[in-house]
Structure 1
Amino acid sequence: MNVTNLVTILTQLDDRDLDMRLYFTRKRPNGRYQSYSPTIDPDLQIEIKEIIKAAIEKIQDTAQREFSPIGTIEGYIETYSPNEVTSFDDILESMSEDFVNRQEIPPGEISKLTFYCLKLYTEEGDILFFRRVTKFNRLKGGFFGKFTNGDFVKLDDTLLGIDPNVDIVIYGGEMLILNHISLERIFSIQEQYHEKATQTLDLVRRADRITNFEQFREDCLSDGRVTRALTKLLNEENNMHQVFENFENVIHVVDIFGLNIEIAEENTKLVYEDKSQLLDITRLMRDSFYRTLINNRDGFDEGV
């Protein structure tokens, strides 16, 4: 995404004619999203736009790389396609005129809101800015207050904050991820990881290279770090097939690195025994072990 172009668009907006919507959203227990869209005072619209613009200006010179489920690299921001996020359409639907709630947000709902989205309508196209909700929780053993007409008045715990940060930007069919964890929490992407990890494990089952597979599958799906790695592996399917086809090399790696994995059935299968082997087997499937060319040093990709 061209962030400099985005800053230019925001800078050229006419403060007297801003067209924006603010949505506060939560995910209901039934898996559906509920969004509320309050009206915004014109002066506040300008202030919010300036907050957003300042946040985007800070990342103009930051390098970008493709999103990886197993984590980001410090000093980079990530790019992704909104179409790859399973829940994205459901969230947009909750903000549509047919489903959005424009009435006052019920007090009982405020503590359940998880993120907000600012939608800016521009001539160049709609721009969406997502941020996790900042909540002002009660002080332990005390409370917040304010001065009103000379009186000190206690504030309740239904306050929400808009801070000077942005987690996700969506514009022109592209997603820019400024906060890796926020992508997972805003879009409930853990469920997507689980689904894609299941697809990867179906491919592993067909390869028939791991004994005690059902236990292996169950243990993989109960480990968040492994499900992320398996999600990434789904995009590396050809590499995984080559690993299993070159099984003699797998045996060689197990020997070189002294991995606690037995080989069974005439050197054709890895023996799975317990969770302590999960990461090593996942690294084998991802071809993450290596030997450096200069110092002949053995190592493995720390990504999993």
Structure 2
Amino acid sequence: MDVTELVNILNGLNDEDLDMRLYFTRKKPSGRYQSYSPTIDPGLQKEIKDIVKSAVERVQEVEQRPFSPIGTIEGCIETYAPNEVTSFNDILESLNDDFVNRQEIPPEEIGKLTFYCLKITIDEGDILFFRRVTKFNKLSKGGFFGKFTNGDFQKLDNTLLGIDSNVDIVIFGGEMLILNHISLERIFSIQDQYQEKASQTLDLVSRTDRITNFEQFREDCLSDGRVTRALTKLLNEENRMNQVFENFENVIQVIDIFGLNIELEDENTKLVYEEKSQLLDITRLMRDSFYRTWINNRDGLDEGV
């Protein structure tokens, strides 16, 4: 995403004629999203616009990398295609005028809201800014917030929500810019998506017939969040994984060099899976994460998994 272009667009907006909507959203137990869209005071609209503009200005010179399920590189932000996020259309639907609740947010709902979305509509389309909500309930066990009203100090209840100076995700022109990696998972609830893609990867692994006790291996993989993220990424590296199993003699050599706790059977043609402690090492083998440097012949491990 061209962040400088986006900043220029925001700078060029007429503060007296902003086409802006603010939505607060939660995911219901049914899996559907419920959004509320209260009216915004005109003066507050400009303030909110300045907040998101400042947030994207701060990342104009930051390196952008494609999104990786296993984590981002420090000092980088990530890009992704919104249509790659399974829940994205469901969230958009909840923002649609036919579904969004324009009435006052019920007090019992406020504590359940998980993120807000600011939508600014321009000639080129909608700019969406997502941010997890800040809830002022951290003092609930040991104190409270208060305010002065007509000289009296009054306790504030825990139905307050905060809008801070940060933005987690920006979507514009069919592109997604991820400023906060973990927020993509929290806002769009993509843990289920990781499970689905990890299952697809495991189907491919099963066909190679290189791992014994495979059904237990599958079950243990899908119960480990770190492994499901690695398997999700591996789905886009299918050729690498196939080459690993086709060059199985190199797999045997890596097991020996790095002293991995993995046994072999069937004339050294299969990995023996026995317990969860082996999950990461087997996943690293499938991702070809072990290496030797060219200059010093130093053995190493890609810590991405």
How high is the TM-score relative to the length of structure 2?
0.98
Tell me the distance in 2 between the aligned counterparts of 1:204 and 1:46. Answer: 53
How many aligned positions are there? 304
Matches within 5 A, 1:46-125: 46-125=46-125
Alignment partner of 2:282: what SS? helix
Q: 241-250 vs 207-216, which deviates more? A: 241-250
Alignment partner of 2:125: what SS? coil
Alignment partner of 2:103: what SS? coil
| 8 Å CA contact retained: 1:138, 1:157 | no
Q: Which amino acid aligns with 2:125?
A: G
| 8 Å CA contact retained: 1:289, 1:298 | yes
Q: Which amino acid aligns with 1:116?
A: Y
> Which whole-Å deviations, capped at 9, do the CAs of 1:161-213 have from their partners, x for residues lacking one?
00000000000000000000000000001111111001101111111100000
Tell me the distance in 2 between the aligned counterparts of 1:14 and 1:297. Answer: 59
Instruction: Quote how far apart the aligned CAs of 1:12 are.
Output: 0.3
Tell me the distance in 2 between the aligned counterparts of 1:261 and 1:141. Answer: 50
Alignment partner of 1:126: what SS? strand
Tell me the distance in 1 between the aligned counterparts of 2:16 and 2:5. Answer: 21
Q: 247-256 vs 44-53, which deviates more? A: 247-256
Identity value in percent = 83
Tell me the distance in 1 between the aligned counterparts of 2:145 and 2:163. Answer: 17
Is the aligned partner of 1:249 residue 2:244? no
Is the aligned partner of 1:222 residue 2:223? yes
Instruction: Quote how far apart the aligned CAs of 1:285 are.
Output: 0.3
Tell me the distance in 1 between the aligned counterparts of 2:98 and 2:253. Answer: 60
Alignment partner of 2:89: what SS? helix
Instruction: Quote how far apart the aligned CAs of 1:89 are.
Output: 0.3
> Which whole-Å deviations, capped at 9, do the CAs of 1:78-133 have from their partners, x for residues lacking one?
00000100000000001101111111101000000000000000122210000000
Match of 2:291 in 1: 290
Tell me the distance in 1 between the aligned counterparts of 2:221 and 2:143. Answer: 44
Q: Which amino acid aligns with 1:30?
A: S
Q: 142-151 vs 99-108, which deviates more? A: 142-151
Tell me the distance in 1 between the aligned counterparts of 2:18 and 2:111. Answer: 29
Tell me the distance in 2 between the aligned counterparts of 1:97 and 1:175. Answer: 23
Match of 2:164 in 1: 163
Computed over aligned residues only, the root mean square deviation of the Cα atoms, in angstroms, reads 0.7
Instruction: Quote how far apart the aligned CAs of 1:138 are.
Output: 5.1
Instruction: Quote how far apart the aligned CAs of 1:266 are.
Output: 1.2
Give structure 1 regions of 4+ aligned residues with deviation exceeding 3 angstroms: none
Is the aligned partner of 1:196 residue 2:202? no
Match of 1:154 in 2: 155
Q: Which amino acid aligns with 1:101?
A: N
Unaligned runs of 5+ in 2: none
Tell me the distance in 2 between the aligned counterparts of 1:55 and 1:258. Answer: 47
Q: Which amino acid aligns with 2:232?
A: T
> Which whole-Å deviations, capped at 9, do the CAs of 1:8-52 have from their partners, x for residues lacking one?
000000001000000000000111100000000100000000111
